[in-house]
Structure 1
Amino acid sequence: MTGGPDERTARRRYVTVCVLFWLPAGLAIAPLVLLFTERGMALAAIAGFLAAHSLTAAVLELPTGGLSDVLGRRTVLAAAGLLNLTALTLQALGTTAWTLALGTALMGAGRALSSGPAEAWYVDTVQARSGPDAGLRTGLARGSSATSAALAAGTLLGGGLPWLLALGPDLGARLGQATSGLVLPLSTPLLLGAAVEAVFVWYVLTALHEPPRPATALRDVLRGVPATVRDGLRLGGHDALVRRLLLTAGAAGGALATIELLTPGRAAHLTGTPASGAVLFAAVACAGFTCSGIGSHLAPLTARLAGSGERAVLVGLGASAGGLLLLGGTAASTGTLPTVLAALGYGLVYLGLGAAGPSENELLHRRVPGTRRATALSLQSLLLQLAGALTGLAAGILPPGPSRWLLGAGVLLAGTLLWTRRTRPAPPAAGTGAPPRREAAATGRAC
């Protein structure tokens, strides 16, 4: 036994950290692209801003992976919160392209730093208190549920707040005059998110007391980055199934980049104003989170009906690609039927990705030994970010219309076709253990 918090207290603090970290991300989902548009930025420039987030997160994903082991979970989480606070402030108040690009890049750095330390703190604390065989599943599940709830609530609030401010034209005008045009109604959710980030940093520094752990030299962590990359390349080069899973992560990144870039503008065009478009997009994004959760819940049933995990991935990705094709096919149309089909397509994208994810994870953890699991997961995240950045940039420079949507659909369809052929079975990897919680896929790469 140690003097640290008991399991119930540790679980409560972990859940609180998840809520405080992901609530600002949810607040930014609905207004971000529309705010950039209000600042006079073209879609190609906005795609570049989102790419800055993805590329920064991808570049820092591996180098920052071991920092929490060296500097401490609390220190790294606090640094991530400070970066996100700065990023949200720059995005909310920035009026130039370089300021907005810097804001999204800093958000990517915060995302890379935050990947894992909170969960690691919870596991460290519980095991230090109750031993290595302590139960973790309940706490991790509650943290995942809290993340989804924070994203959903933040998305609805982030979409509704600008709309409420826009209902009073005098209020919106006075707000702009008082701040020399720096604060628009669409800026307010991001500024609220920055305030929440300040609370997050305070809570992390005061509540996350860490148990002692072995010290590791920073130079050893940085020296291990090239070896990690080489291990990952060997994983993909020597095992066809692992290679397929890594490429599938890239295809999913391309699909998510397309959705994030194009849906806000489409919602604003449908409703007539950016503020009302933010409300519609908030509702749509919240529905997307719900569909993703439903898909994940149905993943075991999907695998049973399909006959195997590989076939379940094929079914899930196929449904998701079909959803993007529906969005592309209705991009140039108006009316009730095209709108209904577009909504159905949006739901299918997230339902399919949610249904495919657990089967992908199971296949990965059965194929990859425990000593290389972190490498494989890091490479999955890296490929998702890189492919998302490239697809978003390409979509941003294409002419308006269906072609932008069909690009994302084509990328995801290519990932789907990888699963039309079965791979040879392999014995379970040594030391697989219980698979870790998968990072939320529908949170938005730039949030």
Structure 2
Amino acid sequence: MTDPRTPAPFTSSTPHTPFPPLSPHTARRRFVTVSVLYWLPVGLTIAPLILLFTERGMALTAIAGFFAAHSLTAAALELPTGGLSDVIGRRTVLAAAGLLGLAAFTLQGLGTTAWVLALGMALMGAGRALSSGPAEAWYVDTVQAHSGPDAELRNGLARAGTATSAALAAGTLLGGGLPWLLGLGPDLGARLSEATSGLVLPLSVPPLLAAVLEIVFVLYVLTALPEPPRPRATLRAVLRGIPVTVVDGLRLGGRDSVVRRILLSAGAAGAALAVLELLTPGRAADLTGAADSGAVVFAGLACAGFVCSALGNHLAPLAARLAGGGERAVLLSLGSGAVGLLLLGVTATGAGPVPLVGGAIGFGLVYLGLGAAGPNENDLLHRRVTGAGRATALSVQSLALQLVAAVTGLVISTLPTGPAAWWVGGGVLLGGGLLWAGASRPAPIMPKVPEAAK
């Protein structure tokens, strides 16, 4: 009798015809490629999006509403879409995320009214929720189907994290530079705007390029990510299965101490990122003395942050080996990030080269620490959950990050200008790291073997 601890082999639509899974090397390469193709379009819009909305005549309050539409849509759909991936399959949900991204970037690039732009941001949030987990869940499912539940995962997760950060860095530079390049020489941007009656501005080019890349992403997902066929189910059965999967994912965090630490650590990371994203633009403007030049500095800092995050992802397996395990690596990584935020707080009110250098070091430490912690946390997570709820668990993790980030943003917005807000973020991140102090790794959760199978 088959031991239930052994992962079921991939099967084709013919019950007796085996469908061998991809090798771990091939699965890792395709997972990395999917990560790049998904996040590169997002990076293209980081620098120009707010400026594009401003050029369309949108007030700051309206722009804040657009981003609220994105965040609220992503948060509301995070768990249901994770459950959907576990019920109907990873590839279908990822392709749907790409199609939503295609629609979102097109509306952002061409939209001229508030409701169209708000719809574009909401669709981006829905796509973000759909994409949260399926690609990683596909990779882990494929590797474990090939090599068993104890297959090595950390290196693949680290490489995908490195690729994600590199794609965001490259996209940020390209998206920020394209509108500027169009304004050089014979002013191609003005001619482009005139030829389209103002529909396409130079700032519209990055999101429209992102829309084209989304088509490439969808085609790659559909052709390069094979997965075993799932039992056919009616729409009613699918909708009934999603809440059950979501509830199981939430319960896992309550009954498993390792998963609980992972979720709390994700929340701590969300607090750190909220502090960086809200305070760094203003700090950059203060350093340069002007909002425009501060935006350029912030774009450079964001790119540098992604590079540090990529380096942290790359070093995650080494950190685990040097620290003696993934748990200690998470402790040290989050602790390093907390030191970075505290250093930013110490240098918040200073002027001159020393505070500037100290702040830059602190900024890099935060992203380096968060980057090194991520693959080690997810390696632990995937050894605590089964394939039936893997995408849901990743969605719960993402939701924890988003919710704590939202609350932290509200809290620090009430604090006076100065080091206090930075210290709040550093304290929360340090608390997330200390959760792993003295933690010992329990045996992975595995189904019991029936007596008949022994």
TM-score scaled by structure 2? Answer: 0.74
Partner of 1:154: 171
Larger Rg: 2
Please state whether the residue corresponding to 2:214 is helix, strand or coil: helix
Query: CA offset at residue 385 of structure 1?
Result: 1.7
Rounded Cα–Cα distance in structure 1 between residues aligned with 2:94 and 2:422: 33
- Which of 368, 393, 396 is 1:351 aligned to? 368
Who is 1:410 aligned against? 424
1:297–1:265 CA distance, 2 compared to 1 (3 A): same
Q: Tell me the equivalent position of 2:442.
A: 427
Q: 1:63 aligns with which of 80, 88, 93?
A: 80
How has the CA–CA distance of structure 1 residues 334 and 161 changed in structure 2, closer, same or farther, with 3 Å as cutoff? Answer: farther
Could you give the per-residue CA deviations for residues 68-110 of structure 1, whole angstroms, max 9, x where no partner exists?
A: 4665555433321221122122333445554443322211211
- 1:248 equivalenced with 2:265 (yes/no): yes
Distance 2:172 2:356 in 1: 21
Letter in 2 for 1:430: I
Give 1:341's aligned residue: 358
From the superposition, tell whether residues 198 and 375 of structure 1 become closer, same or farther in structure 2 (CA, over 3 Å). closer
The reply to whether residue 76 of structure 1 matches residue 90 of structure 2 is: no
Give the superposition deviation at 1:193: 0.8
User: Residues 162 and 401 (structure 1 numbering): CA distance in 2 closer, same or farther, change over 3 Å?
Assistant: farther
The 2-side partners of 1:166 and 1:116 are apart by 39
SS at match of 2:403: helix
Asked if the contact 1:33/1:265 (under 8 Å) is kept, the reply is: no
Q: 1:142 to 1:188 in 2, by over 3 A?
A: same
Secondary structure in 2 matching 1:215: coil
Counterpart of 1:429 in structure 2: which amino acid?
P
Task: Quickly say closer, same or farther: Cα 1:294–1:237, change in 2 above 3 A.
Answer: same
Residue deviations 1:9-33 (CA, integer Å, cap 9, x gap): 8777655544332220121223334
Taking structure 1 as the reference length, the TM-score comes to: 0.75
1:24 aligns with 2:41: yes
Q: Distance in 1 between matches of 2:111 and 2:289?
A: 24
Residues 13-64 of structure 1 show CA distances to partners (whole Å, capped at 9, x for unaligned) of: 6555443322201212233344445556666655554343333223222212
* In 2: Cα distance, 1:5 partner to 1:428 partner: 26
- Counterpart of 1:89 in structure 2: which amino acid? T
Which residue in the other structure is 1:439 paired with?
none
Contact 2:108 2:117 in 1 (8 A): yes
SS across alignment from 1:62: helix
Aligned to 1:86: 103
Asked if structure 2 preserves the Cα contact closer than 8 Å seen for 1:295 and 1:350, the reply is yes
Alpha-carbon separation, structure 1, partners of 2:84 and 2:382 = 24
Matched position secondary structure for 1:55: helix
State the Cα distance separating 1:249 from its structure 2 match: 0.9
Counterpart of 1:441 in structure 2 is none
2:204 paired residue number: 187
Amino acid at match of 1:431: M
Contact preservation (8 Å) 1:317, 1:353? yes
Aligned equivalents of 1:84 and 1:119: distance in 2? 19
Does 1:283 pair with 2:300? yes
Q: CA deviation at 1:111?
A: 1.5
RMSD: 4.4
More moved, 84-93 vs 96-105: 96-105
Using the aligned pairs only, state the percent identity.
Answer: 69
* Alpha carbons 2:83, 2:242 under 8 Å: kept: no
Once the two structures are TM-superposed, the CA of residue 213 in structure 1 deviates from its matched residue by: 3.6
Equivalent AA in structure 2 for residue 157 of structure 1: L
